Structures are given as structure tokens and as C-alpha cells.
Amino acid sequence: MALSATRPTMRDVAQRAGVSLKTVSRVINDEPGVATDTAAKVGDAIAELGFQRNDLARSLRHGRSSMTLGLIIEDVANPFYSAMAQAVETAARERGLMLITASCEEDPAREREMVTALLRRRVDALLVVPAGPDHRWLKDAAVGTPVVFLDRPPGDVEADTVLIDNVGGARQAVEHLIAQGHERIAYVSDAGNLWTASERLNGYRQAHEAAGLPIDDALVRPGTHRAEEAEAVVASLLANERPTALFSANNRNTVGALRALRATGQATALVGFDDFELADLLGATVVRFEPAALGRHGSALAFARLDGDDGPPQRIVIPTELVRRGSGEVRPGAEVGS
């Protein structure tokens, strides 16, 4: 019984069972060549002492794998990222890996900090939603460790990457609004220097160009990260610039836009990028894609590298789809109600 303060080691087990260290090791790792009764003795000793293998020591000795996957995202509490994280965790578990997740909240310094912490821990592979603009340092630091970029491509470096079809999805959304007869379509998004935001802005522009519609720059409002900021910006847009339609470029902005629209009661059309729970009840038309697909494909790419694939960097693009639920089908000049 008397479990000492310090955990029992294989040596303790060996002593208690009256065998050698190596025999204990064999039993623990199910290696062949152990007599049934010796195995039983060892098993008893393990149970009596409450021994648990130290996987830190094991990894150190074994040299290669720590049976760990690292994931760096912006914010676990955002459903977009948590859906991604869930997919990665599932894939990791299927391979017997544990997942270490770190959020860096769009802070490049923290991103770097987290990456180094994970590499020091010798994660087997790294999945990263990059925050900073340049990632040569990352590829250099991670030499030997597969790195896959999710949602945004790395800066100045070639690497496996999984992206959403941002341009296509945004274009689809805005073309839909234009098809309803809208000519003053506002654009609200996260910080404009964010790759996804600028890609979606490209889609917005392309749709206008294709339709021969001019863009009023006053309607283009990047820079709102949180839902509250988006709500304020949209409220101001509605009051001053009088757009007849809105394209919100991510789920935070869509939430803010919905609140602002409800508050004014104006019949303004809205299409959001990224679906969200209860969008059906709110009648929100969105560009939908599968956030989990980022995690699934990302881990598959990483695992392929671990299994020896040394082909050229892959780039996978997840398709999008327009889901009509009402808010995107409001016509310009329509009355409130529907």
C-alpha cells in the first residue's frame, strides 16, 4: 500500500516482482518471450504499486515520436475554430495521438511563442492557423516536423495548406445580392490585412466588376474583429451610407450585422460568410462550407508526411455553397416584414 510520494518506476516493479528491468519492459510493451507466470508476477507488482509508464521518458528514449499533435488556432471559443479543433482531435485519436491546442488570438508574437513551446515538446506534427505575415522562421524552426497551415497560407514559404474557397464564396454571395437587384452592397469584415478578409474582398470586387457595377469605397468596411464592433459599424453604415444590402465576411461580423439590422428594422439584405447555429431560425442566408474539413484534410496531410510522403507541398481548397434562407433574398426598397 504505502505509496511513497514519488511515483513507482519500472525498477520498483522489477524489484517487487523479483525480475529484471528488461523483463518488466517486455511485459509492459507486450513483447514476446516472457513466461506466463513471470508475466503474471510482473502484472501483480504493477497493480500493487499502481505503476504507470512514464511516457516522457519513453519518448525521450524512443527518440522519434511523442505521440502528440500540436494545433494553433486563434480562439477556441469561436465555433469556426472549435469545429476545426474537433475534427483534428478525432483524427489524432484515430492515430493514437493526443492533441495540444493553443490559441494565439491573432497575435504573431504569441503565435511564435506557442510554436516554439510545441516544438520543444517535440510534437510529431504541427497544424497552424497562421497569425503573422511571415513564416520562414516557422519552417526553419520546425525542421523535421511536418507543418500544415490551415485557413490561411503561410507567408513567404511553400508548405502544405488547406484553405476555404474565399474568393469564390464571396463572389457567389455578392453575385447573389446583385442578382436580386442590389447596387449598393456594403462589405464588413475582419482586419483588412488578414488574408481571408482580403481574399473575400477580392471576391466582392470581382462580382461587382463582372456585373459592371461601381464600388462605393464608403461601403467597404474591414477592420471589425468582434461582433460588437461589427454591430456598431453596420449601424453607422445603415444610418449614413444607406446600403440596400450587406455582405459580412465571417461569423463574428454576421452576428453583429444581424443585431444592427434588427435594431434599425430596415429591410436590408444580408449574406454572411460562414454558417452558424440557428441561422435557420433567423432566416440568415449564408455561404456555407465545412469548417471540420479544414481539420480533417489538415491532419491527413500531416499524417501522410509522417508516413514518409516527401512529394511537393499540397494545397487543398474547400468548396463553398450558398444557402438561401431569406435574408439574402430581400429586394432593394422592400418593406420590413416577411
Applying CB under 7 A, the residues found at the interface with DNA are 6-7, 9-11, 18-23, 25-26, 28-29, 32-35, 38-39, 51-54, 57-58, 60-63
Q: ∠ CA(97), CA(102), CA(103), 5° rounding?
A: 145
**At closest approach, how far in Å is the CB of 143 from DNA?**
14
The three cell numbers of residue 96 are 493514437
Task: Report the residue number, 57 or 191, with the smaller CB distance to DNA.
Answer: 57
Q: Give the x-and-dash track for 39-58 against a copy of itself (CB under 8 A).
A: -----------x-xxxxxx-
Q: How far is the CB of 292 from a copy of itself (least distance, A)?
A: 9
The Cα 67–Cα 97 span in angstroms is 5
Cα–Cα distances in angstroms (integers) from residue 73 to residues 129, 131, 180, 286, in the given order: 5, 9, 37, 23
Closer residue to DNA, CB minimum distance, 34 or 300: 34
Q: How far apart are CA 178 and CA 209, in angstroms?
A: 11
Cα(256)–Cα(16) distance, rounded to whole angstroms? 65
**In this complex, which beta carbon is closest to DNA, that of residue 55 or of residue 113?**
55
Q: Applying CB under 8 A, which part among 27-35, 83-91, 241-249, 266-274 lies near a copy of itself?
A: 83-91
Task: Select from DNA, a copy of itself, none the partner in contact with residue 280, using the beta carbon and a kind-dependent cut-off of 5 to 8 Å.
Answer: a copy of itself
- State the binding partner of 76 from a copy of itself, DNA, none, CB within 5 to 8 A by kind: a copy of itself
Q: Should residue 25 be labelled a site residue for a copy of itself when binding is judged by CB under 8 A?
A: no
Secondary structure (DSSP) of 223-259: ---SHHHHHHHHHHHHHHT--SEEEE-SHHHHHHHHH
Residue 99 interacting with a copy of itself (CB under 8 A): yes
Select from 56, 104, 114, 113 the least CA-distant residue to 81. Answer: 104
CA distance 301 to 6: 41
Q: Buried (b) or exposed (e) across 167-187, using 16+ Cβ within 10 A?
A: bbbbbbbbbbbbebebebbbb
Tell me the C-alpha distance between 186 and 277, whole Å: 24
- DSSP letter for each residue of 8-32: P-HHHHHHHHTS-HHHHHHHHTT-S
CA distances from 90 to 99, 239, 263 (A): 9, 46, 40
Residue 66 binds which entry of a copy of itself, DNA, none, CB below 5-8 Å type-dependent: a copy of itself
Q: How far is the CB of 124 from DNA (least distance, A)?
A: 15
In the bound state with a copy of itself, the residue whose beta carbon lies nearer, of 35 and 77, is: 77
**What is d(CA 266, CA 269) in angstroms, rounded to the nearest whole number?**
9
Site string (106-145) toward a copy of itself, x via CB under 8 A: ----------xxxxxxx-----------------xx-xx-
Residue 236 partner contact from DNA, a copy of itself, none using kind-dependent CB cut-offs of 5 to 8 Å: none
Site string for a copy of itself, 255-284 (x = CB under 8 A): x--xx--x-------------xxx-xxx--
Write down the least CB distance from residue 8 to DNA, Å: 8
Helix ranges (H only) for 102-240 are 108-120, 136-141, 166-179, 195-211, 227-240
Positions in the binding site for a copy of itself (CB under 8 A): 3, 5-7, 50, 52-57, 59-60, 66, 68, 75-77, 79, 82-83, 85-86, 89, 93, 98-103, 116-122, 140-141, 143-144, 255, 258-259, 262, 276-278, 280-282
